[in-house]
Amino acid sequence: MFSASDLAQIKQHQLTTDLIDYQLDKFKNGFPPTSLFAPSLENLGLQKLNEAEIESILANYDRLTKDHNLLKFVPASGAATRMFKSLFSFMAEYQGTDEDYEKMIADQSSGSIFTFFKKLEKFAFYEDLKATYSGSDSLEEAHVKREYIKILETMLSENGLDYGSLPKGLLRFHKYENENRTPVEEHIVEGAQYAKQADGTVQLHFTVSPDHMEKFKAHIEDVRGKYESKFSVKLSVSYSIQKSSTDTIAVDMENEPFRNEDGSILFRPAGHGALLENLNDISADVVFIKNIDNVVPDHMKAETIKYKKVIGGLLLQYKEQIHEMYHALEKNGSIEDAVQLLEKVGLKPSDSYPSMSDEEKRTYLKSKLNRPIRVCGMVKSEGDPGGGPFWVKSDDGSITLQIVETAQIDLTDENQKKVFNEATHFNPADIVCYLKDVGGNEFDLMNYRDSNTGFVTKKSKDGQDLKAQELPGLWNGSMADWNTVFVEIPVITFNPVKSVNDLLKPEHS
């Protein structure tokens, strides 16, 4: 099936033909659907902390974290292209006729092109756009003359600000009196206020694309001194790229390998699940994970910082309980207490558990206690697409807490659809992890994922339809075998920027 050049290409990606055959089988036969058992609701796998509990965690946060190696992990490799989808469409269609103009002003909704241009001066990148604009007129005059396409070309093309291909992390998001900040800067400011270690170090790790690595490094160096001085910290910033060995083959609509114009096989990055290997390479105890675009300006940060400390402190409280319980089991401690603790961290034992001897039960319970731990913030659903918290039934009969994406569920099954529709909360990808075992050694995270979860999506290239495949999502299948705690956090802590006009919302202005 594969030619000599195909095999060389597979080897270059550090893949194997067995793995490619596995991926091709998933295209043909699909991934098995996740079996939802029940939604994770308040007091049924989803904790809602009261004010006294929150204040207690905050009061003990410094004590809980002082002897731990903290790190902030930010997936930041994606380009911002989709953020400007409506602008690109407008550029392709707008000819400058009166009819085109009337069509544009007919839609004055918050996400419209009309609103974008009406409020252009309010964007944090406006001053950069004005300085870069090179027409015979000023940017303001071009705006008055309705030279919209030239303005957008200056903003999006590589001859201007190049916002159409830059990553979100390097765009100007927020305006301040004396500066305009990027998401990278906002993550630095956040980290300085909840991930500062006893020696004053703040560790941040950004996953970036190879094309943008130097720009990220240059930007960090430009702003490093300002924030180290402002917060009396020492920034330790590291980077990684998504490994080519995590790429997946693409296929045509007949499930045959998709070929580029030169006959080579098309391989594609396999989604954020591929970042599990990047996370696995991190050397830290406690890792805060949050997407690059979920940041707010300073006047909105208080709740974000508060709840980062809440979920981080809660994680370390559970870590202490889990490790104490593990050592108690080694000394013939209570089996029932261990079962109760495991249910609190998202596991109801397998079907075979009741028939085990006490010794076998202790061995089983210790193996389940000694796993990576994650505390995941959940917000009340407001119709958001994407994953949510559920109890899921595994093949061995155990019931576990999982973040499940819509694409993983067989919604033609009425029972599964009913369970799915009963969910009350949404996953904002706000997670804190503990990555060391009971002996203080680093876990190999690749041993705690479910490789049978994944997604097949429809894409296109050069005008041709194709199918792409994503690895188990970083917070879905890639963390399927982790001890898991879901806790409600306020929706105000979730403020992603998916389209450019989101930057006009009160949360970002």
pLDDT over 90 (residue 46): yes
The string of pLDDT tens digits covering residues 202-224 is 999 999 989 999 999 999 999 99
Q: What is the pLDDT of residue 453?
A: 85
Edge-to-edge strands, sheet with 36-39: 36-39, 388-393, 399-404, 347-348
The string of pLDDT tens digits covering residues 162-212 is 999 999 999 999 999 999 999 999 999 999 999 999 999 999 999 998 999
| pTM across the whole model | 0.93
The string of pLDDT tens digits covering residues 465-493 is 999 888 778 888 899 999 999 999 999 99
* Residue 274, CB-side half-sphere exposure with 13 Å CA sphere: 22
How many whole angstroms separate alpha carbon 118 and alpha carbon 127? 16
Confidence of residue 82 (pLDDT cuts 50, 70, 90): confident
pLDDT over 70 (residue 38): yes
Q: What is the pLDDT of residue 55?
A: 97
How many whole angstroms separate alpha carbon 386 and alpha carbon 355? 38
CA distances from 119 to 98, 138, 360, 405 (A): 21, 17, 66, 35
Q: What is the pLDDT of residue 189?
A: 98
pLDDT over 90 (residue 4): no
pLDDT over 90 (residue 451): no
Q: What is the pLDDT of residue 342?
A: 98
Confidence of residue 385 (pLDDT cuts 50, 70, 90): low
Strands 388-393 and 373-380, sheet pairing: unpaired
Provide DSSP, 220-280. HHHHHHHHHHHHT-EEEEEEE---GGG-EE-B-TTSSBPB-TTSPBPEE---GGGGHHHHH
CA distances from 215 to 126, 218, 219 (A): 20, 5, 6
Confidence of residue 158 (pLDDT cuts 50, 70, 90): very high
Q: What is the pLDDT of residue 384?
A: 65
**DSSP label at 439?**
T
pLDDT over 90 (residue 12): no
Least confident window among 260-269, 347-356, 410-419: 260-269
Q: Mean pLDDT across the stretch 395-424?
A: 92
Q: Mean pLDDT across the stretch 219-246?
A: 94
Q: What is the pLDDT of residue 99?
A: 94
